[in-house]
Structure 1
Amino acid sequence: MTAILSMLPPDWREGTFLGRLDLGEGPVPVLLAGGTVHDMSGAAPTVADLVDLGAFDPAQGSVLGSAEDVLARAALLSPVDLQCIKAAGVTFAVSALERVIEERARGDADQAQAVRGGLEERIGGSIRSVVPGSAEAAALKAALIEDGMWSQYLEVAIGPDAEIFTKSPVLSTVGSGAVIGVRSDSDWNNPEPEIVILSDRHGKAVGAALGNDVNLRDFEGRSALLLGKAKDNNASCSIGPFVRLFDAGYTMAEIENAKVLLRIEGPEGFLLEGESRMAEISRPPLDLLRQAFSEHQYPDGIVLFLGTLFAPTQDRDTQGRGFTHKVGDVVTISSERLGTLVNTVATSRDAPAWETGISALYRNLAARGLIGGRA
């Protein structure tokens, strides 16, 4: 198992990191600051409560020990708990093209390569050059409709409204070091390496982490109405290793210029590497956050996946068929200021079952005396 300390970014002693550890009795919200881990459960029993209270001063908690000591004996959990898990889709031109390719290939990986060449030549440059929701985007839409090239994915790529969907239920995300799942009946799927924003109930971004929005290209390609089945399965959403809180040394500008690196190592020796450059995102992260909160309240806050430009097309087994996961793949997502998120692929059927829901969490908190009521 990868040591937790090795998942932290090189400058981890200079930032403040919010996360959740299990030291044997249940989840503990912690702050990692200045090389020391602080138990924050006395200030607030959950990460959602900490964010709501703005309790980001380590002095409000109790010292657990040095990071080297505590992280060596703790289990690392996903750094979020009661937040809604939201995601923005088709936020990069490359990902927009890949979604259209899936749609035109009807979810058939064998047809994707033939479709890809023609689409890139006809519309790739056009959608990269316009601002979503602008007059130029509207004119491009009209031209593409006339040419018979329009798609529902292009609507959310360059139209006024971003695609914002619910990725995963509350408390279902897994952390760095855990198994991630793909459906056992999918044969065309991929990781989606992304930056994830943590927001409070008012829509204010307080920090960021790395995320893997595992995607089933065959399901969504057959029908966009299968998005729920393509996205939301057991262990199909990982976040971690910690949330880096915004401060004078780490701001939204860091996210807007970040590089997110991906490395996939297969059990048969397969290797795939790529990167997602946030500077190429088509909509500013704060605009995506604003749209997520448009006419909706989230009293426990949200995490918002910002999307990726990475859509792997490198052939794995069969020429022209592109990439798909195999059981045993090790997926490593990293970014210089956020650290490393590493997970091993299994089927969602065989991955550890999700068993700790909201009621189980609150029974555990009550038993530990962190909230009132019966255990």
Structure 2
Amino acid sequence: MKIFRYRDQGNIYLGALVEQGQLYQLKESNVMELVNAARQSGKTAEGYIRSALPQATPISKSIEELHLLTPVDAPEVWAAGVTYQRSREARNYEATEGRLDSTTFYDKVYDAPRPELFMKSTSSRTVGHNDQVCLRSDSTWQVPEAELGLVLDENGVIVGYTVGNDMSCRDIEGENPLYLPQAKIWKRSCSIGPFIRLAETLDDPYSLSIACRIYRDGEKVVDEQANTNQLKRKFNELIHYLKKDNELFAGTVLLTGTCLVPPNQFTLESGDIIEIEIEEIGTLVNVAVYEHELDTKLVN
């Protein structure tokens, strides 16, 4: 079962997509309200929704016709780095100007007990499905990073999974590791959605295929695939360090790192359409533009 948020006639609603494809409007306003109501009733979120479906309002529009929003209004989005071997290789390439035989601090992070965790985004910087992500004006080497996102409650419990796009500037990060915040955080540099797959309905999150496709002028220029079974660190390990001496807010999203990196010679251009698909969760689509072009180039 998948949860989504959408806007209709100026109002924001929470919806459920069931296995048969039917859409229902839920009475709760957000996913954490839904999870808390389910817990108070002694049910899982899935069980709570199924018990409410007979009284729920069916949505007459198709999912493609709805104005989808981020599935959770995440107060914070955090991200993990160098959690896949492919990410380790890419970071080393950036840091050594292509000398892949060199050992860097990224090798140490990959093997260290403590994972790399960093603040990626806030609610106001995060966009959703079919929305525009921004290219940074002072970077010449920019890529999307396809990532599985964990939706957490205030105690670090995983309530669901979503698709994430961690926009990154490879040149800025490679120039100096202290530039990481600038390489990762700017206006519309993060996208999540379009759905949250409820945690109890996903059998094995460590065995999901992930694909990243990029289209330019109607032509597919990037087509990369991987699987979450390549993830080195477990979710509870990442959450453990995120919680340590830290305050979590209900609805926080933790992106678990990327195993898909476009070819080293590739950089995003304005108008590129990015598709990130994670098996059993959904496909997140965004168009990349510069800030001054916002709303002038739309996803078809």
TM-score per shorter chain, which class?
0.7 to 0.9
1:195 aligned to which of 148, 165, 176: 148
Cα distance in 2 for partners of 1:52, 1:349 equals 41
Matched, 1:31 2:11: no
In the alignment, is the contact (CA less than 8 A) between 2:72 and 2:251 conserved in 1? no
CA contact (8 A) 1:88 1:304 kept: yes
Aligned partner of 2:35 in structure 1 is 51
> Secondary structure of the equivalent of 1:69?
coil
What is the match of residue 71 of structure 1?
63
Aligned to 2:202: 250
Amino acid at match of 1:48: M
Kindly state the Cα deviation for residue 349 of structure 1 after the two structures are TM-superposed. Answer: 4.4
- The equivalent of 2:288 in structure 1 is 345
Q: Secondary structure in 1 aligned to 2:248?
A: coil
Whether contact under 8 Å (2:2, 2:281) holds in the other structure is no
The structure 2 residue matched to 1:89, chosen from 58, 75, 81, is 81
Distance 2:145 2:249 in 1: 27
Deviation at 1:218, TM superposition (A): 1.0
Post-superposition offset of 1:71: 2.9
Q: Please point out which of 259, 270, 274 is paired with 1:331.
A: 274
How much does 1:245 deviate? 0.4
Which position in structure 2 is the counterpart of 1:161?
114
1:276 aligns with 2:262: no
1:48 is paired with a residue whose SS is helix
State the Cα distance separating 1:171 from its structure 2 match.
4.3
In structure 1, runs of 5+ residues without a counterpart are 1-15, 106-111, 120-148, 315-321, 353-375
Counterpart contact for 2:150–2:161, Cα < 8 Å: yes
User: Which residue among 82, 94, 108 is the counterpart of 1:102?
Assistant: 94
* Alpha-carbon distance between aligned partners in 2 of 1:350 and 1:52, rounded to the nearest angstrom: 40
Cα distance in 1 for residues equivalent to 2:180 and 2:32: 27
Q: Could you say which structure has the larger radius of gyration?
A: 1
Residue in 2 that maps onto 1:181: 134
Report the RMSD for the aligned CA atoms in angstroms.
2.3
What TM-score do you get using the length of structure 1 for normalisation? 0.70
What residue in structure 2 maps to residue 140 of structure 1?
none
Q: Conserved in 1, the CA contact under 8 Å of 2:117 and 2:242?
A: yes
The CA distance in 2 between the partners of 1:206 and 1:341, in whole Å, is 19
Q: State the Cα distance separating 1:290 from its structure 2 match.
A: 2.0
Judge conservation of contact 2:25–2:57 (CA < 8 Å) in 1: yes
Higher helix share: 1
Could you tell me how far apart the structure 2 residues matched to 1:54 and 1:218 are? 46
Instruction: Structure 2 unaligned segments of length 5 or more: list them.
Output: 40-44, 296-300
Percent sequence identity over aligned pairs: 29
Report deviation, 1:299: 3.3
Counterpart-to-counterpart distance in 2, 1:178 and 1:227: 25
Match of 1:296 in 2: 246
Partner secondary structure for residue 289 of structure 1:
helix
What CA distance in whole angstroms lies between the structure 2 residues aligned with 1:351 and 1:152? 37
- Tell me how many residue pairs correspond in the alignment: 286
CA shift in 2, pair 1:64/1:346, >3 Å: farther
- C-alpha distance in structure 1 between counterparts of 2:84 and 2:133, whole Å: 24
Are residues 95 and 72 of structure 1, via their aligned partners in 2, closer, same or farther at CA, if it must alter by over 3 Å?
A: closer
**Residue of structure 1 equivalent to 2:183:** 230
Question: Using the alignment, how far apart are the partners of 1:218 and 1:48 within structure 2?
Answer: 37
> Using the alignment, how far apart are the partners of 1:270 and 1:69 within structure 2?
30
| 8 Å CA contact 1:47, 1:82 repeated in 2 | no
SS at match of 2:126: coil
The AA in structure 1 aligned to 2:273 is: V
Q: Which amino acid aligns with 2:12?
A: P
How far does residue 156 in structure 1 lie from its aligned partner after superposition?
A: 1.8
Shift of 1:23: 0.7
